[in-house]
Structure formats: structure tokens, C-alpha cells
Structure 1
Amino acid sequence: MPEPGSKAYDKERARRRKEAENRGISDQDANIEANESLQADPKWQSRGPRTERGKGPKGERQGE
């Protein structure tokens, strides 16, 4: 799954932005609409850290 900040995410955001512009939405509003639609779509949401190292130092983690 692509995540925010990845190349696939950026390409999808650009595609959605261009679609919005073609519907007559202004440039700035099209960018906002593309970001909001991607953030609302579960396919494009972040899954969080994938490894133990990504969670931070073991002594500082909550609830483990």
C-alpha cells in the first residue's frame, strides 16, 4: 500500500488534482480537494511504523 510521502501517493495526488482542475475547480482548491480525498481513502492512509526500530527506544514506549 502506498503511503503519504511515497512516489505512488504523489502521483495519485497529482492525478486527482488534474481531474479536479478539469472540472473547473481553481488550482489551489483542486490541490486541497486532492489531499482531502486521499487522506479519507483507507487505501492511502499510513499504517504507522513497520518495525520495532520505527516505534522508538524500547524504554520510552507506552503500554509495552
Structure 2
Amino acid sequence: LRDLVRTAKIRWRVEHDYRELKDGLGLDHFEGRNYPGWHRHVTLASLAQAFCTLLRLDPKVPAPA
């Protein structure tokens, strides 16, 4: 039961992060035609998401108004 709950929580976290990447950080806005351009876009969107996560988890940063 403990493994099942842990797996469900991980799935929710993955779905939440993917939704944040698509809606908030523009993962789905790429309209290029080649793999290197797509790869750069996905890399930058992932880095932006990691940065936002670090800001959200840092207790020293004041919450936005």
C-alpha cells in the first residue's frame, strides 16, 4: 500500500510539472522545423521550470504579492 501511494504521488507531481511547463512556460509554443531548435526550446523551458521550482522551495524568498 505504501508503494502504491508513493507511486500515485509521483504521478501527480509529474502531471503537475508537465502542466506548468505547457501552460506557464511555453513548452507547447515551439513552431520550428528542426530537431536542434526543438531541443533548445525544450532545454530552456526545462531550465525555467527548474528555476521556478527552486524559487518556490526557497524559504528566504518572499512570496509574490
Q: Which has the larger radius of gyration?
A: 1
User: If each structure's helix is expressed as a fraction of its own residues, which one has the higher value?
Assistant: 2
With the shorter chain as reference, the TM-score category is 0.3 to 0.5
The two structures have a TM-score, normalised by structure 1, of: 0.43
